[in-house]
Amino acid sequence: MSDTHEPIPAARPVIGDEEIEAAVRVLRSGRVVQGPEVAAFEAEFAELVDMRHCVAVNSGTSALHLTLLALGLGPGDEVIVPSFSFAASANAVRLVGADVVFADIEPDSFCLDPAAVEAAITPRTAAIMPVHLYGHPAAMDRIMAIAERHGLAVVEDACQAHAAALHGTPVGAFGAAGTFSFYPTKNMHSLEGGMVTTADAEIARTLRLLRNQGMEQRYANEIVGANMRMTDVSAAIGRVQRAKLAGWTEQRIANAAYLTEHITAPNVVTPRVAEGARHVYHQYTVRVRGDRDAAMARLAEAGVGNAVYYPTPIHRLKPYWEPDQKAGRVWDLPETERAAAEVVSLPVHPALSGQDLERIVSAVNALGEQL
């Protein structure tokens, strides 16, 4: 029901009848943990990533964490990560005991700047973690070339970018591994959940061991592992959403096109899309040049949900900032700082009506030059 006076939420997770029926079917079956639904979800997800191996886990953070473990990363290794991301990207590096090295972003895509990546490489660098932020693919052609030249692994954080692509190659199919999240606000969800994609059968096997206590055969543990299994209830919901993803993605792209065409406020910069990129608009993120807090308050008053992803760059969060201060380490990240101060995400989700889109545009354009 869309009432003109109801606020338009910034995100709207879908738990519809089909998702509920799928969950109930699994609950009645009695096979609820990492059974046939998980296997089917993995097989179906592979269609999104050029038929790479897919390993389902219980969250996007677990996907990143296990991938770094499977690649053998640990103390003494450095991983290059953007500071302009969700903390999970850097947290995964620290969870395996490796060191985070922050690199700056490109102002247009909000993703890692390949030149900054190259400048951040040291003899200890082991991997690069590009984040396909907001659903825009990072500059993977240039990042892969740098990685190959220096013999580095690439782990794609594709947690916000299901079905995004660059020059026809889907995200999650470039690096040694790609990681996806199925948290409720993402472009598709499984309540909680994650997926690792890889072309390497050995890495896939190690991931399968790591998510299940190091066991392939029960009680014949081969390595030290964790319990990061996905439930069959989650997988069944994920399969329903996977089948709807293509339609939802087209709707997000169409909603974004409408917003970009109609937003004309002089101090609001609409998102740019790199040449050859398929942006799947997990977020539709503008830059506000002026008083952002005032702009956000006025949008909220007009019933337009909005949010800042992310107000504090990771390097300024306590667990990163304090050790860096102690070590006298200072990161030079001007584009990251500028983005954190300017960005605002507007609703773009597939449930928006034509009327919702018009309301968003008129609220943004009403900001005018008074910022």
Q: How far is the CB of 265 from ligand PLP (least distance, A)?
A: 27
Strand partners, 91: none
The residue sitting closest to ligand PLP, measured at its beta carbon, is 60
Instruction: Pick between residue 45 and residue 183 the one whose CB is nearest to ligand PLP.
Output: 183
Residue 85 binds to ligand PLP (criterion: CB under 6 A): yes
Distance CA(294)–CA(305), nearest Å, equals: 14
The residue from 59, 67, 197, 285 that contacts ligand PLP (CB under 6 A) is 59
Given 41, 45, 84, 86, the residue binding ligand PLP (CB under 6 A) = 86
- Using CB atoms within 10 A of its CB, is residue 365 exposed (0-12), middle (13-18) or buried (19+)? middle
Paired strand residues for 153: 127
Q: Which is nearer to ligand PLP, 8 or 88 (CB)?
A: 88
Q: How far is the CB of 201 from ligand PLP (least distance, A)?
A: 25
Q: Is 115 exposed, middle or buried (0-12, 13-18, 19+ CB in 10 A)?
A: middle
Q: Within 13 Å of residue 287, how many CA atoms lie on the same side as its CB?
A: 16
* Shortest separation between residue 70's beta carbon and ligand PLP, angstroms: 17
Measured from the CB of residue 353, what is the shortest distance to ligand PLP in angstroms?
Answer: 26
Helix axes of 232-262 and 17-29: crossing angle, nearest 10 degrees: 170
Closest to ligand PLP by CB, 159 vs 173, is: 159
Q: What burial letters (b/e) apply to 249-288, b meaning 16+ CB within 10 Å?
A: bebbbebbebbeeebebebbbbbebbeebbbbbbbbbbbb
Q: Is 181 in the site for ligand PLP (CB under 6 A)?
A: yes
Tokens found for residue 349 = 């989700």
* Residues in region 99-158 near ligand PLP by CB under 6 A: 131, 157
Is residue 238 at the binding interface for ligand PLP, with CB under 6 A as the rule?
no
For the CB of residue 88, give the shortest distance to ligand PLP in the complex, in Å: 4
String of contacts with ligand PLP for each residue 155-174, x by CB under 6 A: --x-xx--------------
**Of 82-90, 227-235, 296-304, 341-349, which part binds ligand PLP (CB under 6 A)?**
82-90
Tell me how many degrees the CA angle 361-365-369 measures, rounded to the nearest 5.
Answer: 160
CB 300 within 8 A of CB 306: yes
Q: Which residues bind ligand PLP (CB under 6 A)?
A: 59-61, 85-86, 88-89, 131, 157, 159-160, 181, 183, 194
